[in-house]
């Protein structure tokens, strides 16, 4: 797995294990800025829901949310690592949105 590389931190080491609610360590479940894929039909189906396609033009891309999303994800990453990994499958259609939230970072799909 990518997050096993010494320079990569992925959502794996929750500080409070008994409060871990995110299936498969996915960031889509560790934030309140946008709805998870299940809201748009679930695995696979989300890609066919036009309202699930978030870009840099999304109404959710507010100045407040551009601050909130990193604040919600940073506690789950080791920020001393060179690369920070977020592997939610819906990121494939959320790339432009995420690039707008993290403008000085490299956002790439898997």
- What pTM does this model have? 0.84
Distance, in Å, from the CA atom of 61 to the CA atom of 69, rounded to the nearest integer, reads 10
- pLDDT tens digits, one per residue of 13-68: 555 556 655 566 789 988 999 999 999 999 989 999 999 999 999 999 999 999 99
**How does residue 1 score in pLDDT terms, banded at 50, 70 and 90?**
confident
Residues 6 or more apart in contact with residue 63 via CB below 8 angstroms:
none
């Amino acid at each position: 797995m990518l997050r096993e590389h010494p320079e990569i931190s992925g959502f794996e080491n929750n500080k409070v294990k008994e409060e871990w609610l995110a299936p498969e360590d996915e960031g889509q479940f560790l934030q309140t800025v946008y709805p998870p894929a299940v809201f748009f039909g679930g695995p696979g189906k989300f890609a066919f829901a036009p309202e699930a396609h978030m870009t840099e033009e999304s109404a959710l891309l507010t100045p407040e949310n551009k601050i909130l999303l990193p604040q919600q994800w940073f506690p789950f990453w080791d920020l001393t690592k060179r690369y920070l990994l977020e592997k939610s499958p819906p990121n494939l259609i959320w790339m432009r949105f995420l690039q707008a939230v993290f403008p000085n970072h490299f956002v790439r799909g898997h």
